A and B are shown apart, each in its own frame.
Chain A
Amino acid sequence: MTTEAPKPSPAAPAAAPAPPPNTITIDGREIPFEKGDTVIKAAHRAGIDIPHYCWHPGLSVAANCRMCLVELPPPAGRPAMKLEVLKWDAAKNDYVVDTKPKLQPACQQACAPGLAVLSESSEHVADARSAVQELLLLNHPVDCPICDQAGECRLQDYWLEHQRKGKRMKQEVVHKPKAVSFGPTIVYDAERCIVCTRCVRFTEEIANDPVLSVRERGNLNEIVVSPGRELDNDYTLMTEHVCPVGALTSKDFRFKARVWFLRSARTVCQGCATGCNAYLDFDPRNNTPYRHRPRENMEVNKYWMCDDGMLSYSRAIEGRLLEALVNGAEATVEEALADAKGMLAGLAAKPDRVAIVLSAQHSLEDNWALYTLAKAYLGVTRFFVTGKPLGRGDEILMSEDKNPNTAGVLRLCESAPPRPLADLLKVADEFDAVLALGGDIEVDAKELAVLKTKKVVTIASHVGPLSRIAKIALPASSWAEVDGSYVNRQGRVQTSERALVARGSAVPGWLLVGKLGRALGFATNWKRLSELRRAMVGDGPALPSKPGSEVRA
């Protein structure tokens, strides 16, 4: 090279052209992108919907469904890449040669500054989407009336948005296996499957258990489980969740409900200390929960939940303490409170003989109420904490600590950390009375025998060893029946919305604590959650203002 590029004069640095901004245009609308973004990802972030089946923000790009094809006009002065196609000409009654631009999948096309993308505004794109949709429905069975996905199925949505006509194929459709059991939780229907491979990629990339793969080619292909294996890892239900059609269905949810009758509440999973953000789907007509769905939170669970968590929705109604118990016999809450008053009379005089057991299973509100009653009104100094015993954890989402609010209880008693329940059982003789939250304990139920002679009052949403041993057990609402806050293992305070109307005689746990306090003669007059939360802010952890939202600790 002999010619030298002219050097920029040091006297005029401003003459250097500014680098183009990191934006692309979609149908003329300018949107920003980040380094490494694909077109669909940038559009997704900007709230522009480019139709897609196989692309999922949490999975790798497969670009096999071809639904997200977009047109990329060439840069100024460059010829467009054209394809020759045969087009039906009704006037000539024959096919004629025509050209169309080569379309690109938006899920694979990287963003470059100034890239122009035509999506809705291109007739070629509209044609392509209609054709892709026709192909995907070509062999689809007439299953909507018996398919769990109906109502939230991409095939249905996109047919109306992008196809709106019948198929041209007159032949019998290809038949494939139906209702194949993939494992303990999942059923596969090959006829409904569009082989987008989301489930294959999920098991490989997220669950780290590449047990699913694609067999055969063309219209004969289907998803299969590796020989000798079942789809039985801890994240099987996520394959159903990522399935954009009704090919994978959950055995638990199958034929139980129609989704258009369900309503969703933004809740926090109670399965472990991870605190996955979830939607609890319930039918308001019969006040019954039907399933969990993960709620996107990039800081906590991304797009995912584990099987245990997905199935834990049933805890909202199962194993519940629904009526007050006095010495094991059912009583009204008022009677039980009156009995508690009699039993605990004179307690305030000797606070050192009272043990308080907080529960990592209950919300921050319930724990704060009991903590405040004990510390501020009774003057109790010794606090204990209990909850479910440790379980299996993993590197993905599952935490060994199976309690949703351990961090919350610990933070509540920051000045004097609560001791485990086992410590209380060792020195049980030092106490006359125990005020406890929750039914679950982490030690063997037999060890509770030392408390049999004590005056134990438990406020619990679920039946457990602690509620069974209690002289008086009061029924608290489950997490699904009341707004509540929970602190996960990362220290994030997350709130969970009420979904259901409380069952039985259950009322919020903090309300029961307040009633118990009033029965003992204290001014624990919390009547509303907002009132309690205002009181909490003073000495408790910061709370998010809206249910379903969260604050970073």
Chain B
Amino acid sequence: MEPLDQDLEEGELEMPADPMSLNLGPSHPAMHGTVRIVVELSGETITKADVQIGYLHRGFEKMCERGTWNQIYPYVDRLNYVSPMLNNVGFSLAVEKMLGVTVPERSQYYRVALGELARISDHLTCNGAMAMELGAFTPFLWNIRAREMIWDILEEETGARLTHSFGRVGGMAMPPSKYFKDMVRATLPRVLAVVLESEQLLLKNRIFLDRLENVGRISKEDALDFGWTGPCLRSTGVPYDVRRAHPYLVYDRLEFDVPVGSTGDNFDRFMCREEEIRQSIRILEQCMDQMPDEGPMNIDDPRVVLPEKEDVYTTIEATIQHFKIVMEGIKVPAGEVYSYTEAGNGELGFYLVSDGSGTPYRCRIRPPCFAITQCLDKLIVGAMIPDVVPTFGSMNMIGGECDH
């Protein structure tokens, strides 16, 4: 430390004329995952912002090129790691589109159900974390309590709470457990009750509302221009939801609303997510009624689906089938495909290229939050430092997904 009473020239005591620049992140709890925002300040007002992603870079797409198609599931788990099941489903559908196969009806309902559970946990986490970053710790704990209930179901089904790796090309790793429907039916009202309580804690809180309303606004046109999708786009009033616009699996048989906002500010983004939790619960209730209890989970193609383990150990045919799929991988026909689904943050796209070998030639991902994060600077320039936290929080940037 320098002594405080040192002699200073008169000139040195003046305030610096240069604008002050400030680093937010990359290692800061409010910078979900790792992102760095270099802001230039005039007082507390942001005059310039430089959003730098890339602090979390695993070379995800490159890693995908060295394993078989089924070995990619653990990687997609770690895209948006708050709703890994949605990524599993999205990737499965992409490879199946390339193979030209459709999974059995029971499997489709199961995928929708697990995916919607993941969506609820995604939105609970995002809204809870945003509230916590604004000082509201209790709603965060409330939301996480609800998320625990969902994760208990996912753990029961998949064996893992977070990184399930549960999807498979041509079906799912396992059929639903015996009590799946009972668990879901029992859990949904409890989740709904907790969501209501946490909303009551927040939506009459002046501080919380002041920091959300009219902060981080984006117009419909800008949002579309920047490639926004998901709840963030819908908060501006554009009713685009892949599940509705380009239905996949059994979404065309299910009734649900697509909630939209009007102003595209933090508050609308928050409310869109809250409403989508309710819609997901609606979807899940219908799924539980419609999903058949019997029937195959996987397609019937020995080139794609692994044989029963018991057969692998006792018959040469199943051993060979297992060996071929595990060691050489599924032979996906040469070609390319773009397949997209509605993930937690919006349109999750997989652009896959196969050269006909057992390994993807290219696995390109369109992560929804990458497009959204790119105009964070537009939203925070002109705002104040404290506005960065709720604006960034409501975008729900997930480091693993934004890995580019």
Contact = CB atoms under 8 A, between A and B. Distances in A.
A181 interface: no
A245 to B, nearest CB: 11
Please name the 8 residue pairs, one residue from A and one from B, whose CB atoms are nearest each other, closest first. Answer: A140-B316, A159-B320, A164-B302, A166-B317, A156-B320, A144-B319, A160-B324, A144-B323
Interface string A118-156: 000000000000000000010011111100001100011
Interface of B: 302-303, 311, 313-321, 323-324, 327-328
15 contacts: A141-B316, A142-B315, A143-B316, A144-B316, A144-B320, A150-B323, A150-B327, A151-B327, A156-B323, A156-B324, A159-B320, A160-B303, A165-B317, A166-B311, A167-B317
Nearest to B322: A144
A450 B324 CA distance: 63
Contact of B315 (A155, A163, A164, A167): A167
A160 B302 contact: yes
Interface string A373-411: 000000000000000000000000000000000000000
Nearest to A134: B317
A154 to B, nearest CB: 11
Nearest to A139: B316
Contacts of A151: 323, 327
A140 B324 CA distance: 17
Nearest to A141: B316
Contacts of A167: 315, 317
Contact of B314 (A142, A143, A160, A165): A142
A260 B67 CA distance: 13
A164 B303 CA distance: 7
Contacts of A164: 302-303, 321
Interface in A150-180: 150-151, 155-156, 159-160, 163-167
Nearest to B327: A260
A310 B316 CA distance: 31
A166 B320 contact: no
Contacts of A137: 316-317, 320
A166 B318 contact: yes
Contacts, number: 47
A159 B317 contact: yes
A448 to B, nearest CB: 52
A166 B307 CA distance: 10
Interface residues of A, number: 19
Contacts of A143: 316
A409 B160 CA distance: 67
Contacts of B313: 142
A155 B320 CA distance: 8
Q: Which of B316, B319, B328 gathers the greatest number of chain A CB atoms within 10 Å?
A: B316
Given A165-B302, A260-B327, A160 B321 contact: yes
A144 to B, nearest CB: 5
B302 A142 contact: no
B139 to A, nearest CB: 51
A475 to B, nearest CB: 34
Contacts of B321: 159-160, 164
A162 to B, nearest CB: 12
A142 B319 contact: yes
Contacts of B324: 156, 159-160
Given A159-B317, A166-B315, 16 more contacts: A140-B316, A142-B314, A142-B315, A151-B323, A156-B320, A156-B323, A159-B320, A159-B324, A160-B303, A163-B317, A164-B303, A164-B321, A165-B302, A166-B311, A166-B317, A260-B327
A166 B324 CA distance: 15
A325 B328 CA distance: 47
Contacts of B319: 142, 144-145
Nearest to B318: A166
Contacts of B315: 142, 166-167
Contacts of B320: 137, 144, 155-156, 159-160
B320 to A, nearest CB: 5
Nearest to A137: B316
A552 B177 CA distance: 69
B229 to A, nearest CB: 40
A167 B314 CA distance: 12
A376 to B, nearest CB: 48
Nearest to A158: B320
Contacts of A166: 311, 315, 317-318
A164 B324 CA distance: 11
A35 B327 CA distance: 42
A166 B314 CA distance: 11
Q: Which of B303, B318, B323 gathers the greatest number of chain A CB atoms within 10 Å?
A: B323
Contacts of A145: 319
B357 to A, nearest CB: 13
Nearest to A133: B317
A140 B303 CA distance: 20
Contacts of A163: 317
Contacts of B302: 160, 164-165
Interface in A86-140: 137, 140
A160 B156 CA distance: 34
Q: Which of B302, B303, B314 gathers the greatest number of chain A CB atoms within 10 Å?
A: B302
Contacts of A159: 317, 320-321, 324
Contacts of A260: 327-328
Given A159-B321, A164-B302, A142 B327 contact: no
A503 B248 CA distance: 56
B325 to A, nearest CB: 9
Nearest to B312: A142
Nearest to A161: B303
B260 to A, nearest CB: 49
A340 B267 CA distance: 81
A150 B318 CA distance: 14
B116 to A, nearest CB: 35
Q: Which of A151, A166, A167 gathers the greatest number of chain B CB atoms within 10 Å?
A: A166
A47 B143 CA distance: 63
A163 B320 CA distance: 11
A137 B321 CA distance: 13
Nearest to A157: B324
B44 to A, nearest CB: 56
A167 B320 CA distance: 13
A155 B319 CA distance: 11
A166 B316 CA distance: 9
Nearest to A150: B323
Interface in A248-285: 260
Nearest to A155: B320
A155 B324 CA distance: 11
A185 B318 CA distance: 31
A513 B254 CA distance: 78
A472 B121 CA distance: 72
Contacts of A156: 320, 323-324
Interface in A214-254: none
B13 to A, nearest CB: 61
Contacts of B314: 142
Interface string A527-551: 0000000000000000000000000
